Structure 1
Amino acid sequence: MFKSKLYIYAGVAGLLLNVTSCKLPEVATKTEDTTVPEQYANAVQDTVNSAKIRWQDYFTDPYLDSLIDTALENNQELNITMQEIAIARSEVKARKGEYLPFIDIGAGAGVDKKARYTSQGAMEATTDIRPGEEMPEPLPDFFVGATASWEIDIWNKLHNAKKAALSRYLSSVEGKNFLVTNLIAEIANSYYELLALDNQLEIVNQNIEIQSNALRIVKLQKEAARVTELAVRKFEAEVFKTRSLQYDVQQKITETENRINFLVGRFPQPISRDHHAFSTLIPEKIQTGIPSQLLENRPDIRQAELELAASKLDVKVAKARFYPSLGISAGIGYQAFNPKYLLNTPESLLYSIAGDLTAPLINRNEIKATYISANAKQVQAVYNYEQTILNAYVEVANQLSRIGNLEKSYELKSKEVDALTQSIDISSTLFRSARADYMEVLLTQRDALESRFELVETKMQQMNAFVSMYKALGGGWN
């Protein structure tokens, strides 16, 4: 008898499995390609990589280090990301709980009055609990017990969902690491920009002094009838122009300080710094390592890799929904119409256990759509992963070329500044001896100012390249 029932159940299960395991929808598939060039162009092939250096050792300016340290504690965007990590961690716990049994305990009380002229009411009216003891009316009901339900994860649907949540949690951690890298780079770039602006403001002040001295000489020569009023007005206009530039630079300094304060997570206040050290800054030599190290060092690449792993698991979860699911439910407890009988065993004891096998049969369009969507997202994640790797390589290659070109450019601009600085004295001497006109003096001063500005700008770009290369290699987060 038992064997015959077992065969019937097995036959039903086989029928359900056969019906529901029809041909799955056809979907496009793609496998990720993680190959990268063996080395960077015009770079020595060496596994030594500057990304392994801690940011405290990479940036040696104590004022900058203090800003970065404060930002890693107070930056609002970083703190928001930390909460996203906490949310992702809770999602892992929730998914893990789904494939464990659900057990509930409860108690209840109620009262029930049946109409006498009904079949159930008439039956209770003529029923004695014991000889001479009638059924109470109305009938109280007391219950205490436990119930349990458990979905048997025969297709690993729930386990894969938990693994996908875990991958996304780890992905959120890598996202935080990538944010840390970007935050450090943004603060460092803004700090070096601030130092550059300080130096440009100093250059402007020096030029104002030079031009004011030249203006006094021109006024004296005008009194001696050696130049006209036009020359005086031209020199005055040049002084006004440079003074106007002074306020433009001061405004940029204020905005840059406020940008740094925002990144640090505080209201505007002066930024401590030593701008005199800017001109002596020399970017240290950076070791790029080999391109394959980007897959390990760059948090955004590892984030994309983990998102890809999660999307693959999502496809398995969606696929498992086509197959039957097996559930077990059970309950045990005590129930009686009078509390004094509630714990009487076995009279008041009740229990149940049941198993059910269910499978989608009609209107499976939602399951098909979910499966197709999950597969498309998995292909999308492959492209995103490959794009992230390609972008990382291009960033390093660009910064590598930029560092070399800026080094040569800075050397030439330094020579240009030296030549134009000397030409200021020469033009002033020639002007006083009437061997050069005032326009030559003005143009020489203007060119010298622009060249010194450009030299500072090039130095700032060198430091930005120094910072950007560290970021491109994946440094800072560790």
Structure 2
Amino acid sequence: MKRIPIYLAALAAAFLCGCSAVRHCKSPELNLPETLSPDQTDSTTVADVAWWRFYGDAALCDLIERTLAANKDMLAAAARVERMRQLYRIDKASRLPVFSASVYANRETNDYYEKPFSNDPEMGAKASVSWELDLWGNLRWAKRRGGAEYLASVEDWRAMRMTLVAEVATAYFELMALDNELAIVRRTLETRREDVHQAKLRFEGGLTAETVYQQAQVEYATTAARIPDLERRIRMMENSISLLAGGYPGGEVRRSGLALNITMPDSLPVGLPSGLLQRRPDVRSSEQQLRAAMAEAGMAYADRFPRLTFTLTGGVENSELTGFFRSPFSYVAGAIAAPVFGFGRRQAKYRAALAAYDEARLAYEKKVLEVFKETDDAIVTYRNVRRTAELNVTLRDAASKYVKLANIQYRGGNINYIDVLDAQRRYLDAQIGLSNAVRDEHLALVQLYKALGGGWTMPDGGRK
């Protein structure tokens, strides 16, 4: 009967150990739905469009670029990626031999009581190499853990890009909606000023009662009181955008106007569930964290078995310079360190690692559920705000006609002035409502794009 070479037996044991290490690690249970949207079954998705083409607005794209380049959280995420990359290099290098060298000289003298004086000089130059034989996969699992943690940091960095693009776009559209509202209120204030002037002339001419004049003044003051609050909100939104872009408050935020006559599509391609998980960097980060937890369980399992280390040291050593290079020195050692009795510490460590894996697995499953909820919410929201915007256009047009008719009837003496004011209020609210509805369309589009995983890609050449 032939004897199996010891190194083959060691490799077989290491393989079996690697399989046994994670046999208790349960795979995630996802049970993905068949589609993201009932009316779409293909893989086409709007998230595949680069963000600078998706938004198109030059001012917004410039603002996003500045934010991605200077945002403090973005820079910190990039620094973390570099840190994890260097730590991964350490984990990979741990599987390789360690080489070291030293040159030394020392002189020891002894003059003990009633002993002859002794002089013991020593000089040497040595090089050594040590290597741990990875029998049970401890170092391999460590490398896998380091690689997963590094990739998770990269995905976190990408997820932050995706989030920042959405945050900047959201703040930008909210700012333009506030600009629109302020412009509407100022135009309305000019109309109110003219109404006050006309009401005063009619009152002084004895054509109307003082009540009408006071009503006009109240309406003017009510409209004017809106302006300071809108100016405050605009300044605060500009400061928020400056903070995102890594700047101090007070900086100018260039923007274009929020057009109210743009018709957006009723629906957009959203792709398939499997593609969603591949595009979302936060999901991929959670998956890499799950891989790291599995590797941690493998390390804890392998830590229960002996470790075998070899050391080889060679060089020259002598007590004098004469013949120094003709005095070779060598030292070979092998050591095996094995846990003997640790009161269950290593077993408990392994079980804790398995529990940590289960925790990461459940966190991954929850992340997938959250992503699908976010996506479905974004799809439903976009469809409904489209309908709301169409209804607000109808409301704005009807309110405009209502104001014209009310003015005609008031001049003809058919209705009271309070009816005219009611028509003007409704028209003002309808204009602001339409502006906000268009804003909500843009915000819903931003959230849908983000939910589908758009906004984090960046080619090497930058924005074209």
Answer with 44-53 or 362-371: which moved more. Answer: 362-371
Amino acid at match of 2:255: R
Give the conservation status (yes or no) of the 8 Å contact 2:37–2:270: no
Map residues 6-405 of structure 1 onto 2, 5 A cutoff: 29-116=25-112, 137-267=118-248, 268-275=250-257, 277-284=258-265, 285-344=267-326, 348-405=327-384
Q: Is the 8 A contact 2:21 2:301 kept in 1?
A: no
SS in 1 for 2:208: coil
Equivalences for residues 434-445 of structure 1 within 5 A: 434-445=413-424
1:222-242 CA deviation, whole Å, 9 max, x = no partner?
123343333322221221121
Distance 1:75 1:308 in 2: 29
Q: Matches of 1:434 and 1:42 in 2, distance apart?
A: 57
Residue pair 1:196, 1:278 contacting (<8 A) in 2 also: no
Describe the SS at the equivalent of 1:339: coil
Q: Which residue of 1 aligns with 2:388?
A: 409
- Unmatched tracts of structure 2, length 5 or more: 1-5, 458-464
Deviations 1:432-459 (A, max 9, x none): 3332222222222122111211111111
Q: Structure 2 counterpart of 1:173, which letter?
A: V
Q: 1:449 is matched by which residue type in structure 2?
A: L
User: In angstroms, what is the RMSD of aligned CA positions?
Assistant: 2.4
What letter corresponds to residue 98 of structure 1 in structure 2?
Answer: S
1: distance between equivalents of 2:59 and 2:149? 36
Is the 1:45–1:290 Cα contact (8 Å) retained in structure 2?
A: yes
Structure 2 distance, partners of 1:443, 1:59, is 39
Residue 247 of structure 1 and its aligned partner are, at CA, apart by 1.7
- CA deviations on 1:16-52 (whole Å, 9 max, x unpaired) are x9xxx9xx99997532023311113443212111111
2:448 maps to a residue whose letter is: M
**Letter of the aligned partner of 2:39 in structure 1?**
A
Residues in 2 aligned to 1:463 and 1:333: alpha-carbon distance in whole angstroms? 73
Q: CA offset at residue 266 of structure 1?
A: 2.5
2:434 to 449, 452, 455: 455
Residue 5 of structure 1: aligned partner: none
Distance in 1 of aligned mates of 2:244 and 2:21 = 49
Give the whole-Å Cα distance in 2 for the aligned partners of 1:179 and 1:225. 68
Structure 1 residues 176 and 217: CA distance shift in structure 2, 3 A: same
Equivalent pairs: percent with the same residue?
A: 27
Q: In 2, Cα distance between the equivalents of 1:29 and 1:106?
A: 46
Q: How many Å separate the matches in 1 of 2:349 and 2:219?
A: 70
Shift of the 79–146 alpha-carbon distance from structure 1 to 2, 3 Å rule, reads same
Query: 2-side partners of 1:451 and 1:297: how far apart?
Result: 39
Alpha-carbon distance in 2 for matches of 1:140, 1:26? 55
Contact 2:310 2:334 in 1 (8 A): yes
CA contact (8 A) 2:21 2:302 kept: no
Distance 1:209 1:26, change over 3 A: closer
Q: Secondary structure at the match of 2:126?
A: strand
Output the amino acid matched with 1:90. Q
Distance 1:49 1:108, change over 3 A: same
Taking the aligned partners of 1:396 and 1:318, their CA distance within structure 2 comes to 38
Q: 1:95 to 1:39 in 2, by over 3 A?
A: same
Instruction: Report the AA paired with residue 180 of structure 2.
Output: N
Q: Quickly say closer, same or farther: Cα 1:208–1:321, change in 2 above 3 A.
A: same
Distance 1:25 1:38 in 2: 34
Query: In the alignment, which residue of structure 1 is the partner of 2:455?
Result: 476
Inter-partner Cα distance in structure 2 for 1:403 and 1:57: 20
Cα deviation, residue 340, structure 1: 2.0
Stretch deviating more after TM superposition (164-173 or 426-435): 426-435
What is the TM-score of this pair, normalised by structure 1?
0.87
What do residues 94-145 of structure 1 show as CA deviations (whole Å, max 9, x unaligned)?
1112121112111212121234558xx66xx7xxxxxxxxxxx422121211
**1:466 & 1:287 partners in 2: Cα distance?**
12
Shift in alpha-carbon separation, 1:57–1:190, aligned structure 2, 3 A: same
Aligned residues: 441
1:338 alignment partner, SS class? coil
Whichever residue aligns with residue 439 of structure 1, its letter is I
- Paired residues of 2:389 and 2:438 also in contact (CA < 8 A): yes
Contact 1:325 1:357 (C-alpha < 8 Å) held by counterparts: yes
d(CA) in 1 for partners of 2:207, 2:415: 12
Residues 1:332 and 1:55: Cα distance change in structure 2 (over 3 Å): same
- Displacement, 1:421? 1.4
Distance 1:223 1:42, change over 3 A: farther
In the TM superposition, residue 354 of structure 1 has moved relative to its aligned partner by 1.1
Q: For the residues of structure 2 that align with 1:338 and 1:34, how far apart are their CA atoms?
A: 73
2:461 aligns with none
Give the equivalent residue in structure 1 for 2:460: none
Q: What amino acid does structure 2 have at the position aligned with 1:258?
A: N
Which of structures 1 and 2 has the bigger CA Rg?
1
Look up the equivalent residue of 1:294 and give its one-letter code.
L
Q: Which runs of 5+ in 1 are unaligned?
A: 1-9, 126-136
Equivalent position SS for 1:340: coil
SS at match of 1:178: helix
The aligned amino acid for 2:185 is V
